[in-house]
Amino acid sequence: SGPGRRVLFSTPIFYANAPPHIGHLYSALLADALHRQRGLRGASPGRLSTGTDEHGLKIQQAAAAAGVSPARLCARVSELFRGALAQAAVSFTDFVRTSEPRHCRAVRHFWAALRERGALYKGCYEGWYCTAEESFLPASQLAERRDAQGRELKVSLESGHQVQWTKEENYMFRLSEFQEPLRKWLRDNPHVISPAPFYQQVLQWLREDLPDLSVSRERSRLQWGIPVPNDSTQTIYVWVDALVNYLSVVGYPETHGEWWPAAHHIVGKDILKFHAIYWPALLMAAGLAPPERIFVHSHWTVHGQKMSKSLGNVIDPDSCFRQYTVDGFRYFLLRQGVPERDCDYYDEKVVKLVNSELADALGGLLNRSTALSINPSNTYPCFSEYCFPKVSDYGGTQALGRASTEDYELVASVASLPLQVASYFEGFQIYKALECIALCVKETNGFFQRHQPWKLDRKDPAEKPWLDTIIHVTLECLRVYGTLLQPVIPSTADKLLSRLSVEPEERSLSDLTFLPRYNGKPCPFEGRQLGPDTGVLFHRLEKSSQSQVENKSS
């Protein structure tokens, strides 16, 4: 993914039948961090698309239950999503609604391409249909449960929602013909789906039968959707409609070639099959290439339980922003979220992590190293090569000048950090990038504590160069951390870099060099007046009652 290439990052479009929760937010923050990080690398402008999925039986039923029209329900919920993402500082460039004319036009064109290329036929389809998941489910994905009256019901194994036996005459997509092309696509692109366990999951699905897919519903059952062109008795299946958003947002069918197929989809594991099997097959059938990357993440639980309206444990992002701040909650989700496995949310966990790593470790280090008591001139002080001489090999280095072996280890750690962080972002392991930064921040605090600059006498000519060097090294470490943290905590990183007097044009990842004076090169910050002291970098959080951060009403 070289810097000269355009890339479209995308979240799933979110279903407009209920307000946003932290699962939606997590998808968006992952995409946002990748998008921001790419921009800071000096790459050509990328795009980040998000939006709302506004058609389907579930919306039709939710609107009827609320006593409003589907269009009114979608307009209200779509605005909630747009507001929540803007509040979370998600840097989206495109917000698509599937009810928009540009999208409906793209879907009709896509359908026509499938039909013209012989990928569709009309057939009778029957099976177990799950309205909540908007899909037919095979017997292997069903379980039997009893309702409150003791009656036996069939439910989805994945979601627990009830399924109904449905028989319809629908348009079918020749999915079975794409089993081998999909396998070849995956074999030729082993990194197309990350993390690796999800790539293996898709390969496993492709070893099983791949039946043709029903891609329309009877209009009499489903009016809220895009009608099949030239057949007023059928409505286009909501998932086909929704997936085309990734094309409509880049100008399909006219100008999509400027961006497609350089699309990087960020999706939850529950919609992996739709994105890694149905979507690539539909694209191939329409004469288009599959997306370049599919990044997959797992779910958030609350105190070990799946979020659900019936349990009353759906977490509202707005409450979290008010309780933990926007950057605090962004940091928590991206630091604690591990894409390969479900992660658990509870208040004490957020407070402990954010206080420890942002308020105390990072904020405390900035506060101590810029205190007027040890840096009365409020400048970026000079580095002394005499006190901290360069060595060619850090391994087993004995103390030289005033620097200790641990100091050389710190310099080595921080010097290698930007490449390490970039590598973890590329591999969709943002949590590991943040773990590395946190470890280096801890190491820098150890450096500062070890040398106790507050005990050194600035007026002593023998002590002043070493005192200035300690502060210089600490500020250089902080400058690296602030630069690397911009995709994750943009507001806090801006505050930190502004305090260090790092100008906006000096904050890119492409020219990030650490401690140039150690390598005998000039440091543009040396001698520069520090920026204004705007107070505590990040205020400590207080523990709250769980009711303050849970949206009981959903």
Does residue 365 belong to any structural domain of this protein? yes
- What CATH number did the domain enclosing 477 receive? 1.10.730.10
Q: What is the pLDDT of residue 124?
A: 84
Residues 341 and 238 in one domain: yes
Residues 301 and 394 in one domain: no
Residues 390 and 339 in one domain: no
Mean pLDDT of 450-470: 95
Does residue 169 belong to any structural domain of this protein? no
Contact yes or no for 17/72 (Cβ under 8 A)? no
Residues 427 and 324 in one domain: no
Residues 263 and 334 in one domain: yes
Q: Is the peptide bond before 253 cis (omega within 30 degrees of 0)?
A: yes
Instruction: Return the amino acid letter for 90.
Output: V
Does residue 333 belong to any structural domain of this protein? yes
Residue 289's domain spans which residues?
A: 12-119+180-207+225-350
Residues 293 and 360 in one domain: no
Residues 46 and 189 in one domain: yes
Q: What is the pLDDT of residue 547?
A: 41
Is residue 168 within a helix (H) or strand (E), and if so which, with residue range? strand 164-173
- Residue 400 confidence (pLDDT) above 50: yes
Provide DSSP, 17-71: TS---HHHHHHHHHHHHHHHHHHHTTPSP-EEEEEEE--SHHHHHHHHHHTS-HH
Residues 235 and 359 in one domain: no
- Residue 553 confidence (pLDDT) above 70: no
Does residue 439 belong to any structural domain of this protein? yes
Residues 322 and 369 in one domain: no
Q: Look at residues 323, 350, 377 and tell me which one is the last residue of a structural domain.
A: 350
Does residue 476 belong to any structural domain of this protein? yes
Does residue 523 belong to any structural domain of this protein? yes
Q: Look at residues 350, 367, 399 and tell me which one is the last residue of a structural domain.
A: 350
Q: Look at residues 330, 350, 370 and tell me which one is the last residue of a structural domain.
A: 350
Is residue 107 within a helix (H) or strand (E), and if so which, with residue range? helix 101-116
Residues 448 and 487 in one domain: yes
Split into its structural domains, the chain has a count of 2
Between residues 4 and 59, which one has the greater pLDDT? 59
pLDDT tens for each residue of 511-546: 899 999 999 999 999 999 999 999 999 999 988 754
- What CATH number did the domain enclosing 36 receive? 3.40.50.620
Mean pLDDT of 493-521: 95
